[in-house]
């Protein structure tokens, strides 16, 4: 979440930034009203506590005076002196003290009522803050939607050319016997498929290659997280409450299935204070991913491009605020390094404000060219979330020069997402007879196989 002090101190600026994002649901006015009431309650409680303390001190003084008069009264009974005046003063003090005690109790009751309201108000603020998106970095270009995104010139391998009409993977895979759509539907319904033989081997090879490349060449530490985590982890990563409809979850227990390893990696250091000397922390994780996203019929969902279950290798960084944008550039480079190694044409896309998403302050996509379906496929989104996730997950670091702990910056990028890498490999490396050339980098992971042949 963003720092509430920004909303409190610069409400107009925050409204302008959210308007640039095109977010119409951020409850800024409700937060301001609740925050104003919160401060009113705090001031009133402080005043009531002051009055209660003064009353308690006054009662203490009266109790001392009463004790003294009671001792004087005992002396009069032994000496035979008149006691009427002392008794009158005692009665007056007792009456004043009883009234003060009643007033103190009323003050205490009022304080208890206000403290309960304060807890409810703070809970309301916390809940509403979860609906406020991250604010765009000043360098993010304005644009209302993804049609305004900036596509840079293709890089990497040249776009493949053929002396025959290239086929799409939904034709190539079944013809080779390596993708079985019918049995996937039989097992799990629409948007599922089965990989067989060299198809399953190829996917495993791509995953292993990417993990090895990131750990050996880029210095990432590999993580193998649970695929199910508690709902609080989704809140920490910025997935809840906004994207609740996209999440598969256990109906009886507080478990949700990862839509990306980012969710687990964000919370790996939840409620921890790291040392600045340990930063940056660079993690990479492979997980299957599960999403309930609604899918329309047509070209966009044909084949294995989009499904309810897919595999992904995720890169994740914890950095200082001063270095996070350098690491964003590194994430993009590390994603494109994989494209280069797999001989895939790629291009970078700079996202405009209207296509940043919920948690990112700045984001780049990496797309690869698929020659059969004739389209650019997104295989990585590299995001700098600044302190947005760290504030939600309470991840901080202790500055080397002392001072109070600060929130880290978190960054993430796919490195890369399957099965779209599989699509490009199959379509870009197809031969005229339908067989597939295995990219050089993957051959050691495929037992030296150079060509994927049809399964008998």
Q: Which residues are catalytic?
A: 291, 306, 378, 381, 420
Per the CB < 8 A criterion, the answer to whether 273 and 394 are in contact is no
Where is 416: in which H helix or E strand?
Answer: strand 409-417
Per the CB < 8 A criterion, the answer to whether 169 and 304 are in contact is yes
Q: Which two tokens stand for residue 87?
A: 């008794």
Q: Long-range contact list for 445-450, CB < 8 A, 24+ apart?
A: 445/204, 445/205, 445/206, 445/208, 445/209, 446/198, 446/201, 446/202, 446/205, 449/198
Per the CB < 8 A criterion, the answer to whether 431 and 375 are in contact is no
State the Rg of the chain over Cα: 33
Longest dimension (CA), the chain: 130
Q: Which two tokens stand for residue 30?
A: 């409700």
Name the residue among 134, 121, 129 with its Cα closest to residue 27.
129
**Strand bridging mode 395-398 / 406-407:** antiparallel
Per the CB < 8 A criterion, the answer to whether 365 and 349 are in contact is yes
Q: Which two tokens stand for residue 301?
A: 């969902």
Name the residue among 162, 452, 207, 215 with its Cα closest to residue 342.
207
Q: What is the phi-psi region of residue 225: left when phi exceeds 0, alpha when psi lies from -120 to 50, beta otherwise?
A: beta
**Any idea what DSSP says for residue 401?**
T
Determine the Cα–Cα distance for residues 451 and 165; give it in Å rounded to an integer: 19
Q: Does the N-terminal peptide bond of residue 68 adopt cis geometry, omega within 30 degrees of 0?
A: no
Determine the Cα–Cα distance for residues 328 and 212; give it in Å rounded to an integer: 21
Determine the Cα–Cα distance for residues 15 and 27; give it in Å rounded to an integer: 10
Strand partners, 382: 364
Tell me the backbone φ, ψ of residue 453, rounded to 5 degrees.
-95, 160
**Any idea what DSSP says for residue 38?**
H
Q: Which two tokens stand for residue 335?
A: 């994603």
Q: Which two tokens stand for residue 449?
A: 């196989």
């Amino acid at each position: 979440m963003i720092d509430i002090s920004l909303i409190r101190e610069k409400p107009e600026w925050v409204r302008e930034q959210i308007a640039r994002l095109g977010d119409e649901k951020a409850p800024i006015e409700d937060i301001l009203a609740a925050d104003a009431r919160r401060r009113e309650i705090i001031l009133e409680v402080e005043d009531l506590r002051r009055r209660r303390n003064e009353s308690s001190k006054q009662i203490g003084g009266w109790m001392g005076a009463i004790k003294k008069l009671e001792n004087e009264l005992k002396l009069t009974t032994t000496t035979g002196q008149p006691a009427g005046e002392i008794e009158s003063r005692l009665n007056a003090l007792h009456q004043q003290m009883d009234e003060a005690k009643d007033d103190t109790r009323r003050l205490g009751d009022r304080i208890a009522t206000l403290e309960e309201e304060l807890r409810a108000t703070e809970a309301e603020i916390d809940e509403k803050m979860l609906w406020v998106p991250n604010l765009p970095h000043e360098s993010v270009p304005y644009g209302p939607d993804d049609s305004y995104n900036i596509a840079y010139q293709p890089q990497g391998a040249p776009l493949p050319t053929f002396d025959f009409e290239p086929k799409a993977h939904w034709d190539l895979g079944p013809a080779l016997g390596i993708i079985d759509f019918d049995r996937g539907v039989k097992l799990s319904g629409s948007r599922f498929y089965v990989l067989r033989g060299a198809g399953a081997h190829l996917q495993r090879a791509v995953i292993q290659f990417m993990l090895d490349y990131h750990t050996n060449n880029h210095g990432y530490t590999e993580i193998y997280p649970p695929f199910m985590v508690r709902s609080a982890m989704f809140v920490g990563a910025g997935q809840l409450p906004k994207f609740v409809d996209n999440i598969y979850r256990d109906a009886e227990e507080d478990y949700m299935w990862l839509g990306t390893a980012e969710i687990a990696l964000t919370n790996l250091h939840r409620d921890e204070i790291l040392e600045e000397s340990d930063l940056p922390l660079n993690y990479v994780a492979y997980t299957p991913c599960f999403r309930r996203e609604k899918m329309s019929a047509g070209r966009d969902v044909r084949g294995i491009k989009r499904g309810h279950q897919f595999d992904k290798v995720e890169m994740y960084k914890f950095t200082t605020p001063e270095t996070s944008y350098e690491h964003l550039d590194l994430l993009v480079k590390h994603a494109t390094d994989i494209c280069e190694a797999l001989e895939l044409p790629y291009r970078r896309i700079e996202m405009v404000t209207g296509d940043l998403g919920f948690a990112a302050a700045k984001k780049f996509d990496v797309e690869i060219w698929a020659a059969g379906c004739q389209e650019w496929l997104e295989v990585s989104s590299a995001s700098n979330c600044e302190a947005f996730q760290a504030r939600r997950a309470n991840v901080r670091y202790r500055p080397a020069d002392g001072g109070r702990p600060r929130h880290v910056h978190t960054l993430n990028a796919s490195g890369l997402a399957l099965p779209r890498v599989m699509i490009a490999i199959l379509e870009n490396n197809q031969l005229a007879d339908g067989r597939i050339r295995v990219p050089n980098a993957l051959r050691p992971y495929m037992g030296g196989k150079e060509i994927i042949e049809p399964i008998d």
